[in-house]
Amino acid sequence: MTQTLPETSPTGAAVRTVDAVVIGAGFSGMYMLHRLRQQGLTVQVFELADGVGGTWHWNRYPGARCDVRSMEYSYSFDPDLEQEWQWSEKYPTQPEILRYANHVADRYDLRRDIQFETRVESTVWDDEAERWTVRTDRGEVLSAKFVVHASGCLSIYKTPEIPGLESFSGPWYHTARWPREGVDFSGQRVGIIGTGSSAIQSIPVIAAQAADLTVFQRTPNFAVPAHNHEFPPGYQEEMKAHYPEFRQDARTSMLGIPHPPAEKGALEDDPEARRRRYEKAWHDKDNTLVDLMAAYTDMLTDKEANDTAAEFVRERIREIVKDPETAEALCPKDYPIGTKRICVHTDYYETYNRDNVHLVDLRKTPLVEITRDGVRTTEQEFRFDALVLATGFDAQTGALTSMDIRGRAGLQLKEHWDEGPRSYLGIAVANFPNMFIITGPQSPSVLSNMMVSIEQHVEWVSDAIQYVQEHDLRTIEATPEAEESWVEHNAEVGNSTLFPTANSWYMGSNVEGKPRVFMPYIGGVGPYRERCDEVAAKDYEGFVLAG
Ligand code: NA7
């Protein structure tokens, strides 16, 4: 399908021509803008929010923190930036990360090329002009040689699939759209649906404030203690003195978080030695969310090995939670540990020992509806003054499939991904020339320290764009064969692990009707980077370069 570019937009404004449109001003979009501008391109960034920060702009729920340590969840591209910025504690809070994002926007004067409060409605490839036509909800039309989707992996939030939300007479809040001014739950009866990471972080904080908190749990999660703390004097300076080596270790690691490689399988250690390892991963104040799973080589490939760590965590839950029935309900039993994102908690399990906190096990008494006064399960109606929905996201593909993205001959990305995402390296899609995705499905993305993966993708994409420009090329486009073989490789690596045995958002199984496919790439951040570098070194092997 050829779509002729109009000379004026529907509002009568002239069509604006830029080299690149970047969608999203989170950490991906900001760095993308910085790089492309340095390369001399004209760039327009569109962002739905009224500020930078992406996920950290929206997710302002009580207790929101990153579950990767602050000093590694930060940009490494500018040594001056990483030396000058001071983090205050092990796991940064949402406000601190947002301050950092704003600092970056100021430092590199990014805002002048970001248009806020604007939704990109469509990006359509014009076969004749060999450019993208980008339309926004403000009626603007742009013509761009390149489009970079930096719209995030967890941006389209979902509400529970039960009727009645609109009939609830009190206020309800989704963790991913928390009011900027905060919420005062003092004296209130509050219900929260969901027990993923957002709920696990917010429940202890809400419980300390509300008169009464009822948690509706469908699937319990494994959570390890955060041991969050302010940095002791000298710690940060010491880390900064070795930043280059530390960053390099992160880039070549499996998950973007440096960790010594495991040496043997879990069952090769005797039970006592195994316990000591798990105890260390649990109690060490500098632990990370990967320590437990990285203790042995086969934790994510061998169910028996995995069971040893899962049982260790269940024992800790039974130790902490005093009411045996509540403890049992909080113990995950029907999926291997690590196949749903492990949560990092501060007093989550301890919170169930409070008199004002109640757990409702939806496996026993499923939700039926939200009523005017609260929530009804198959057993009873619960009355609330306020409701919190911590019900997650249409992850990884949602932001892309909810936009009208059309490539060659009008092919819709949503159609192309009907049976699950298809991409080459999680960066490019066949029949969608000059289009790139930052941390797209089939790249390590959500299975890694996002900052490491974001920087790797932004740098790879900006290098590819520079290559196209310097060689006077018109288009760069993944071949269908390269895409097919990457899709197969992704599935093969994913299927060699325990991940597909869980109903997780990695599998798309949290969204009704979404194809059940393991989406992120589990081959490891370091090996993946090598593969991408090899593709670039071979003059973009697997891509057609035209011009
Ligand atoms: P998650 O991890 O997707 O958690 C969503 C939670 O909401 C999870 O416990 C779901 O249960 C539950 N849920 C969703 N829909 C329903 C319905 N209809 N009824 C009952 N319970 C429901 O999202 P988060 O925001 O917590 O975390 C996302 C990521 O952000 C996290 O992994 C970190 O990487 C940062 P389910 O498990 O589907 O049975």
Distance 361 CA to ligand 1 centre (A): 15
- Cα torsion 59, 313, 292, 277: sign: positive
Distance 414 CA to ligand 1 centre (A): 23
Domain boundary residue, one of 389, 419, 434 = 389
d(Cα 251, Cα 245) in Å, to the nearest integer? 10
Beta-sheet pairing, 374-377 with 381-383: antiparallel
One domain for residues 190 and 172: yes
E strands along 80-161, which residues? Answer: 114-115, 120-126, 131-136, 141-149
Residue nearest to atom 33 of ligand 1 (CA): 197
How many independent structural domains does the chain possess? Answer: 2
Tell whether 400 is covered by a domain: yes
Give the rounded distance of the alpha carbon of 474 from its chain centre. 32
One domain for residues 186 and 304: yes
Q: Is 546 in a helix, a strand, or coil?
A: strand
Which atom belonging to ligand 1 lies closest to the Cα atom of 160?
18
- So what's the pLDDT on residue 5? 47
One domain for residues 382 and 514: no
Q: Is 463 in a helix, a strand, or coil?
A: helix
Residue nearest to atom 38 of ligand 1 (CA): 510
Tell whether 456 is covered by a domain: yes
d(Cα 418, Cα 416) in Å, to the nearest integer? 6
One domain for residues 112 and 188: no
From 158, 161, 197, mutation site for ligand 1 pocket: most ligand atoms within 8 A of C-beta: 197
Domain boundary residue, one of 351, 374, 389 = 389
Main-chain dihedrals φ then ψ at residue 121, nearest 5 degrees: -90, -40
d(Cα 66, Cα 59) in Å, to the nearest integer? 11
Which atom belonging to ligand 1 lies closest to the Cα atom of 505?
3
Structure token pair of residue 2: 């050829």
Q: Express each pLDDT in 256-297 by its tens digit.
A: 999 988 999 999 999 999 999 999 999 999 999 999 999 999
* Ligand 1 first shell, C-beta below 6 A: 154, 160-162, 175, 193-199, 216, 218-219, 341, 362, 367, 390-392, 505, 510
Give the rounded distance of the alpha carbon of 83 from its chain centre. 26
Residue nearest to atom 31 of ligand 1 (CA): 197
- So what's the pLDDT on residue 3? 41
Tell me the CA distances in angstroms from 453 to 34, 39, 477, one per residue in order.
17, 21, 21
| Nearest of 317, 281, 330, 293 to residue 499 by alpha carbon | 293
Residue nearest to atom 29 of ligand 1 (CA): 197
Place of tokens 């939704």: 119
d(Cα 500, Cα 23) in Å, to the nearest integer? 31
Which atom belonging to ligand 1 lies closest to the Cα atom of 199?
26
Which atom belonging to ligand 1 lies closest to the Cα atom of 195?
9
d(Cα 367, Cα 346) in Å, to the nearest integer? 27
pTM: 0.96
For 13-75, give the DSSP string.
PBPEEEEEEEE--SHHHHHHHHHHHHTT--EEEE-SSSSS-THHHH---TT-B-SS-TTTSS-
pLDDT tens digits in sequence order for the chain, 547 residues long? 334 445 555 556 689 999 999 999 999 999 999 999 999 999 999 999 999 999 999 999 999 999 999 999 999 999 999 999 999 999 999 999 999 999 999 999 999 999 999 999 999 999 999 999 999 999 999 999 999 999 999 999 999 989 999 999 999 999 999 999 999 999 999 999 999 999 999 999 999 999 999 999 999 999 999 999 999 999 999 999 999 999 999 999 999 999 988 999 999 999 999 999 999 999 999 999 999 999 999 999 999 999 999 999 999 999 999 999 999 999 999 999 999 999 999 999 999 999 999 999 999 999 999 999 999 999 999 999 999 999 999 999 999 999 999 999 999 999 999 999 999 999 999 999 999 999 999 999 999 999 999 999 999 999 999 999 999 999 999 999 999 999 999 999 999 999 999 999 999 999 999 999 999 999 999 999 999 999 999 999 999 999 9
One domain for residues 222 and 350: yes
d(Cα 27, Cα 34) in Å, to the nearest integer? 11
d(Cα 134, Cα 124) in Å, to the nearest integer? 7
One domain for residues 405 and 540: yes
Q: Euclidean distance between the first and final Cα of the chain, in Å?
A: 21
Tell whether 246 is covered by a domain: no
Distance 255 CA to ligand 1 centre (A): 22
Distance 391 CA to ligand 1 centre (A): 4
From 215, 343, 391, mutation site for ligand 1 pocket: most ligand atoms within 8 A of C-beta: 391
One domain for residues 454 and 382: no
- So what's the pLDDT on residue 8? 57
One domain for residues 186 and 67: no
One domain for residues 172 and 138: no
Tell me the CA distances in angstroms from 195 to 45, 330, 480, one per residue in order.
34, 10, 40
- So what's the pLDDT on residue 14? 86
Beta-sheet pairing, 404-406 with 386-389: unpaired
Residue nearest to atom 34 of ligand 1 (CA): 341
One domain for residues 367 and 405: no
Distance 196 CA to ligand 1 centre (A): 4
Place of tokens 């250690």: 269
Tell whether 328 is covered by a domain: yes
Tell whether 250 is covered by a domain: no
Q: Is 470 in a helix, a strand, or coil?
A: helix
Name, in order, each residue with C-beta under 8 angstroms of 239's C-beta and a sequence gap of 6 or more. Answer: 71, 246
Tell whether 427 is covered by a domain: yes
Q: Rg of the chain over CA atoms, in angstroms? A: 24
Domain span at residue 135? 3-156+395-546
From 510, 512, 514, 516, mutation site for ligand 1 pocket: most ligand atoms within 8 A of C-beta: 510
One domain for residues 450 and 402: yes
From 172, 198, 335, mutation site for ligand 1 pocket: most ligand atoms within 8 A of C-beta: 198
Which atom belonging to ligand 1 lies closest to the Cα atom of 389?
7
Distance 206 CA to ligand 1 centre (A): 17
Residue nearest to atom 30 of ligand 1 (CA): 197
- CB of 144 within 8 A of CB of 18? yes
Tell whether 248 is covered by a domain: no
Domain boundary residue, one of 337, 362, 389 = 389
One domain for residues 136 and 278: no
d(Cα 140, Cα 417) in Å, to the nearest integer? 27
- So what's the pLDDT on residue 12? 63
Residue nearest to atom 18 of ligand 1 (CA): 160
Tell whether 135 is covered by a domain: yes
Distance 510 CA to ligand 1 centre (A): 8
CATH for 289: 3.50.50.60
